[in-house]
Amino acid sequence: MNKRKLSCDPIVIMFTNNKGGCGKSSECIELAYILGQKYKVLAIDMDPQCNLSLYSDVDLEEHKNVKHVLDVDFDSIDECIQRTPSYDVIAGNRELVNASKLYPDSDEEYILQELVSELDYDFILLDSAPAQSLLSIIEYTASDYVIGVTECDDGSLLGIRNIKEDIKTITKRRNKKLKYLGVILNKYENTNINKLAMDQLDELAEEIGCRPFNTKIRKSSKSSEAKLMRQSVSEYDKRNNIAIDNAELAKEVLKRIKVDGRM
């Protein structure tokens, strides 16, 4: 069944934080699954850790992957795309940990941007590497929007602040349309430190020019269970807090994109 709904070019969203372990891969998977119920969605794993690929249960060994995309080593892009019931995936590649050595030419920064504009999808979601690198520049250059994912610790919140400077640099030199769409507070618990983190995000909003999403993603043990089953939590247990929260978050994401005039 063709789920293509939008008449515009693919809407490209990058999930990022310079600090690892914030749950950006998990959030990318959850939103890919939820949006994939209605829209045609492609998730691209740009993180050499390959967590999105692993938990989406796609082939990491034999099938062509994101390195083949960056190398333009394919006859048709379909060779690099793997299907799941809800969304498609271009798998990651652990060799990309050495991306700066593999792609020394500055023109490589535009490879993904040129590719995604030609793909027949409503949404393309990019799971980024945690460290600032050539890969993140490639992603920023290809994206329409950036979503920051954070926990309540100081390192994660600092990473959210740093995204603004990354966007400022990219919009000047490579991608003028790039915007900060929102910040997700992940693994939320009803504790004083989490409430303080939300207050800090609210204070950061004016500084970074981007409001945090109203929906917070609550912490749950179901996340680990779903990963063992190679599923999103939204597929594994639709009644779980993470699934409920992400369904509300998806509505917020779509609303902000509509307000921006892209839908």
Task: Answer whether 108's CB lies under 8 Å from 124's CB.
Answer: no
All structural domains of the chain with their residue ranges? 11-259
For residue 150, the cross-strand partners are: 185
Q: Which two tokens stand for residue 98?
A: 């050495």
Range 222-231 contact pairs with CB under 8 angstroms and sequence separation of 24 or more:
223/26, 226/55, 227/55, 230/54, 230/55, 230/56, 230/57, 231/55, 231/57
pLDDT value of residue 106? 61
Looking at domain 11-259, its CATH superfamily turns out to be P-loop containing nucleotide triphosphate hydrolases (3.40.50.300)
CA separation (Å) from 101 to 117, 136, 258?
26, 15, 39
pLDDT for res 207? 79
Question: In sequence order, which ranges of 56-183 are alpha helices (DSSP H)?
Answer: 66-70, 99-102, 111-116, 134-142, 154-173
CA 201, 202, 203 angle in degrees (round to 5)? 90
pLDDT in tens, the chain (263 residues): 567 788 889 999 999 987 777 889 999 999 999 999 999 999 999 999 999 999 999 999 999 999 999 999 999 999 999 999 999 999 999 999 988 888 876 677 888 999 988 899 999 999 998 777 889 899 999 999 999 998 887 777 777 788 888 888 898 888 999 999 999 999 988 888 888 878 888 887 777 778 899 999 999 999 999 999 999 999 999 999 999 999 999 999 999 999 999 88
Residue 1, pLDDT score: 54
Angle in degrees, 0-180, between the axes of helices 241-259 and 24-35, rounded to the nearest 10: 70
How many C-beta neighbours within 10 Å does residue 114 have? 11
Q: Is 38 within 8 Å of 4 (Cβ atoms)?
A: no
Per-residue pLDDT at 178? 94
